[in-house]
Structure 1
Amino acid sequence: MAKHAVEANFDGLVGPTHNYAGLSWGNVASKSNVNAVSNPREAALQGLAKMKRLADRGYVQGILPPHERPHIPSLRALGFSGTDPQVLEQVAKSNPSILAAVSSASAMWTANAATVSPSADTSDHRVHFTPANLSAKFHRSIEHTVTGRSLKSIFADAGYFAHHPALPSVSHFGDEGAANHTRFCGQYGEPGVELFVYGQAAFNDQAPGPQTFPARQTLEASQAIARLHGLKDRNRVFAQQNPAAIDAGVFHNDVIAVGNGNTLFYHEMAFLNEEQVLADIRARLTGAELEAVRVSSAEVPIGDAVASYLFNSQLLNTPDGMLLAVPGECREVSSVSQYLDKLLDTGGPITAVEVFDVKQSMRNGGGPACLRLRVVLNDDELQAMHGGVILTDALYERLTMWVEAHYRDQLAGEDLADPMLLEEVRKALDELTGILGLGSIYDFQL
C-alpha cells in the first residue's frame, strides 16, 4: 500500500549580491537587463512573500539558503592572491567579468540545484539527491559543493535519504537539475514516471541539436542520474527538447513545460518528438491517466511564451483541481493573458490561475518555477528531515527582519568589488545558518 506523501517546495532565498550581470548566454531575459541596477532587498522579500502565500495555502514550503558571494575560494583557485580585499581589487582591475561571475546570486533558482527522486520510485526506497554540476556556465558551476552541503544538512538521515556527488563537470555530462526533470504520478506516494528532458546527445555527433544557443542538458547526464537513483525503465522516460525552442531562448525545459501529478502543461514546441513522449509517459503511468494540456503556437507564439514565462509557473494541487501560479508578466503579454482567460473555461485539469510578483527574479530570467526545488516526502521522511527550514509564520517574520537588516536596496556592478559587501554577506549568512539551524555549510565557516 502506498504511503501518504506530499510534494514540498524548497525555494531559494535570494542572496545579498542579487545583480544583473547578464551572465547567461541563451537566457533572453538575463541578457536584456544586463547592467541594470538591482534591488537585492526587494528581490529577497518578493521571494519570501511568494513562499508565505503558498505556506498559508497549506503547502509544505521549505527554504534553501543563498551562497556566499563573491566567492573568494574560486578567485584564489584562479590565481588571485593576498587578503580578501586584495583579491577583490585584483580581479576588479584585471577582469571584472570574472568578479561578476563569482558574485552571482543564481543559486536562488533552486530548480537547478539538484535532481530529486522520491522513495516510491527508487530501488532502495530512499529519497535520492544529485546536485547539478551546471557545467555550461562558470558562474553556476561553482554552486554544487555548497548545494550538496545544504541538502545533506537538511536531509541527513541516511536511512531515508541518499546523496550523490555532482556528475563530472564536463560538457558531455552537463546537468541542469530539476529544471529538466518532471515527475508524473497518480498519488505522490505511489510509484511515478520521471521525465528527463535533454537538449543533445553528447556522444552522438549526428544527433539534431540547436544552432544558435547551447543545449545545456545532455542525454548522458540524464541517464547517469537515473542509474544513480536506481530508477527502473518503468519509472523513467528520456525526451529530447525541441532544438528550435532552445534557439528561441528556451534554455531549460521548465521554460516551455511544467507538470504535476497526472498533468502536463506544455507548448507544442516543447519536445522534438511530441507524440512519442506522450505515448511513453502514458505507457508507464499507473493509477491515473495523463492529462496533457497543449498550447499551440497560434494561441501563444514561442516568443511570447519566453517573454512571459508562462510555463515557468508552478502547477499545484488544490481540492478543486490544479492551480497555476504565474509570474505577473503573464498578464502583460496580450496573447498569454487571453490564453489564461480561456484556459479556465476549458473544463481541463487547471482550474485556477494566480499571479505572483517575482519581477526582480524575472529580470534575470527566472520565474516562480525556477525558484523552487520539488521534493516528494512521505510522512516518515518529513519527520526525519531537519524541520528548521520549513516556513512558519514565526520563521517568515524572522527572515523578513533578517533581510531588512542585512540587504542593500541598490546594487550595481561596480559595488561587487567593495570589501564591505563581502563582509556584509558573510555576517548575514553566518546569522542565517543559525536561524535555520544548518550548521557550518559555507567555506568561510569551515
Structure 2
Amino acid sequence: MSRQGGVVEINFDGLVGPSHNYAGLSLGNLAATKNAGETSFPRAAALQGIAKMRGNMETGLAQGFFLPLPRPNTGWLEALAADASTDAALVAGAWSASSMWTANAATVSPAGDTADGKCHLTVANLVTMPHRSHEWPDTLAQLQVAFGNKDHFVVHGPVPPCFGDEGAANHMRFAPSHAEPGLEVFVYGRSGGPFPARQHEQASRIVARSHGLERALFVEQNPEAIAAGAFHNDVVAVANEAVLFTHELAFADPAATYDAIRQACPGVQVVEVPASAVSLADAVKSYLFNAQLITPPSGEMTLVIPTESWETPPVRSWLEGMLASNGPIRHVKPVDVRQSMANGGGPACLRLRVVADPATIDPRFMLDDAKASLIEGVVGQYWPEQIDPADIGEESLAASIRLARGKLLETLELEALA
C-alpha cells in the first residue's frame, strides 16, 4: 500500500489514574521499593503528566494519550479467590495504576518497517509482575479503538504467557527520519543478580515475526544493569532516529551491539555515557536514560529528562559537557514528574511512540490544548488528592476512583471503554 505523506512520530502518554499509589509491588524497581508505603498524590501526578504532554505540544510535536484502566480490578481478585483480609499484595495489585507507563503497553512497528505496509502493534502481556499481568485485556481494548482503522493498523493480542513481554520499554528503532524505513532493535534480558529479566528473547522474536519486520536485531541487556535496577532497557538506553543515547554498561556486548546497529543502519551516532562519569547507580537513581529523546519540527534533537537528573551532580556535569561538545543532542529539557518517578517511572516510561499519520487515528485519543483543559478539569474535580496505604481496599475510595474514571470517559465520549 502507499505510504502516508503525513507520517510523524506521535507520543502517546498514559494519564495517571485516580488509584495511583505506592504499594511497592515491582521487584527490581528500586524507586518503587524505596517508596513503598508512602502517601501518594494522584491528582498532582495526573496534572504533572498533562503538563509534560503540553510541553511536547508546545515544541510542535503530535501528542496522544491513553486512559487509566478500570480500577480496582475486582474480576482479577475473584479469579484468584483472593481474601482481602489476608492477601494484601493481591488487593494492592488490583488497585495498581501502573498502566500509566505506556512504554509497556505495546510494541509498535511503523508501516515503513513491515512487509504489508501497515503499522503493527502487539499488546504486552506483562506476565512477570502479577500486578501488571491483568492490564493487557483493557489495554488491548483501547488499542483496538484508537488504532481501529484497518487500512493502516494491525493490532495483535499478547505473546503467549510462557514468554514475558514488556513492550516498547525494551525496543528501539533507528532510521534517518521517523517516516523512513528503519531498523528495529529488541533488547532481551537474563536474570540480573536477585532480579528477574522481564523481556524474554523468544517474546521479542515472536513480535518481530508477527509484525513481518524486514530488518530486526536482537541484543542482550547487560545483567549488571538489571542487577543495578535497570529492570527495562529504557532505564539505561534510548534511541531516536539515527542517535543512540546509552550508558556504557547497558548491553552485554556494547561494541558488538554498536557495530551491528551501524552495519544495518549506516550513519547511526552513538552517544555513550561512560561509567566513570555516571555510575550505573546514578543512572538508575536519576533516570537519565529514561528520557524522551525527540526531534521537534526545529530539527534540533532534545532530551526531555526528569528534574531528578538535573539535580544529580555527576549527571548534570556530564550533560553540560555534552551540550558544549556540539554533538547530535542539542538541548536538554527537565520536566517535573516526581509522582511517577517515586514509583519508578520517568518521562520515557510515560509514553508509547507511534509513527503514523495522525489523521488515521481515532481523534478522541489525540490531545490538543482544549482537550487537555477538559481533562485537567475532570482530574481537578474528581481525582483523589492523596491516597494513604491504609486506604487501599476501602470501598468508599474504590467508589470515588470508579466515579473519577467514569467522568473522564463521559467527557471524552469514550463510555464504550467502561
Aligned match of 2:229: 249
Partner secondary structure for residue 440 of structure 1: helix
Structure 1 segments of 4 or more deviating over 6 A? none
Aligned match of 1:308: 286
Gaps of 5+ in 1: 81-89, 201-208
Q: Which range is displaced more, 414-423 or 152-161? A: 414-423
1:428 paired residue among 401, 404, 414: 404
| Matching of residue 142 in structure 1 with residue 120 in structure 2 | no
Alignment of 1:209-224 (within 5 A): 209-224=191-206
- Cα deviation per residue 1:52-88 (whole Å; 9 max; x = unaligned)? 11112111110100011111110111125xxxxxxxx
Aligned match of 1:285: 265
The answer as to whether partners of 2:18 and 2:405 remain within 8 angstroms in 1 is no
| Matching of residue 230 in structure 1 with residue 212 in structure 2 | yes
Alpha-carbon distance in structure 1 between the residues aligned to 2:375 and 2:264 = 42
1:177 paired residue among 158, 164, 167: 167
Alpha-carbon distance in structure 1 between the residues aligned to 2:157 and 2:35 = 34
| Matching of residue 388 in structure 1 with residue 364 in structure 2 | yes
- TM-superposed CA distance for 1:430, in Å, is 2.1
Residue identity opposite 1:365 in structure 2 = G
Alpha-carbon distance in structure 2 between the residues aligned to 1:159 and 1:146 = 23
Aligned match of 2:252: 272
Residue identity opposite 1:112 in structure 2 = N
Aligned match of 2:188: 198
Partner secondary structure for residue 321 of structure 1: coil
Aligned match of 1:162: 154
1:323 paired residue among 302, 307, 316: 302
Q: Compute the RMSD of aligned alpha carbons.
A: 1.3
Residue identity opposite 2:281 in structure 1 = G
- TM-superposed CA distance for 1:3, in Å, is 4.7
Alpha-carbon distance in structure 2 between the residues aligned to 1:188 and 1:211 = 36
Partner secondary structure for residue 245 of structure 2: strand
| Matching of residue 30 in structure 1 with residue 32 in structure 2 | yes
1:17 paired residue among 1, 16, 19: 19
- TM-superposed CA distance for 1:414, in Å, is 1.7
Partner secondary structure for residue 46 of structure 1: helix
| Matching of residue 351 in structure 1 with residue 333 in structure 2 | no
The answer as to whether partners of 2:406 and 2:415 remain within 8 angstroms in 1 is no
Alpha-carbon distance in structure 1 between the residues aligned to 2:339 and 2:174 = 30
Q: Aligned residues: percent identity?
A: 44
2:387 paired residue among 379, 404, 411: 411
Q: How many residues in Structure 1 have an aligned counterpart in Structure 2?
A: 415
- TM-superposed CA distance for 1:96, in Å, is 1.2
Alpha-carbon distance in structure 1 between the residues aligned to 2:400 and 2:385 = 13
Alpha-carbon distance in structure 1 between the residues aligned to 2:123 and 2:213 = 17
Partner secondary structure for residue 133 of structure 1: coil
TM-score by length of 1: 0.91
Partner secondary structure for residue 22 of structure 1: coil
The answer as to whether partners of 1:18 and 1:104 remain within 8 angstroms in 2 is yes
Alpha-carbon distance in structure 2 between the residues aligned to 1:311 and 1:193 = 20
TM-score by length of 2: 0.97
| Matching of residue 370 in structure 1 with residue 349 in structure 2 | yes
Alpha-carbon distance in structure 1 between the residues aligned to 2:310 and 2:150 = 45
- Cα deviation per residue 1:399-420 (whole Å; 9 max; x = unaligned)? 1110011111110122122212
Alpha-carbon distance in structure 2 between the residues aligned to 1:428 and 1:168 = 33
The answer as to whether partners of 1:3 and 1:190 remain within 8 angstroms in 2 is no
Alpha-carbon distance in structure 1 between the residues aligned to 2:400 and 2:165 = 32
- Cα deviation per residue 1:165-208 (whole Å; 9 max; x = unaligned)? 111123xx1101000001110121211001100003xxxxxxxx
- Cα deviation per residue 1:218-252 (whole Å; 9 max; x = unaligned)? 110000000000012xx211010001110011100
The answer as to whether partners of 1:242 and 1:269 remain within 8 angstroms in 2 is yes
1:296 paired residue among 269, 274, 280: 274
Alignment of 1:40-55 (within 5 A): 40-55=42-57
Residue identity opposite 2:166 in structure 1 = E
- TM-superposed CA distance for 1:431, in Å, is 2.4
- TM-superposed CA distance for 1:2, in Å, is 6.3
The answer as to whether partners of 2:384 and 2:401 remain within 8 angstroms in 1 is no
Partner secondary structure for residue 350 of structure 1: coil
Alpha-carbon distance in structure 1 between the residues aligned to 2:101 and 2:72 = 17
Residue identity opposite 1:338 in structure 2 = S
Alpha-carbon distance in structure 2 between the residues aligned to 1:96 and 1:269 = 37
Alpha-carbon distance in structure 2 between the residues aligned to 1:437 and 1:372 = 22
Aligned match of 1:83: none
Alpha-carbon distance in structure 2 between the residues aligned to 1:190 and 1:435 = 36
The answer as to whether partners of 1:100 and 1:413 remain within 8 angstroms in 2 is no
Partner secondary structure for residue 10 of structure 1: strand
2:77 paired residue among 40, 62, 75: 75
Aligned match of 1:342: 321
Alpha-carbon distance in structure 2 between the residues aligned to 1:385 and 1:2 = 15
Alignment of 1:95-106 (within 5 A): 95-106=87-98
Alpha-carbon distance in structure 2 between the residues aligned to 1:436 and 1:265 = 36
Alpha-carbon distance in structure 2 between the residues aligned to 1:79 and 1:257 = 40
The answer as to whether partners of 1:114 and 1:131 remain within 8 angstroms in 2 is yes
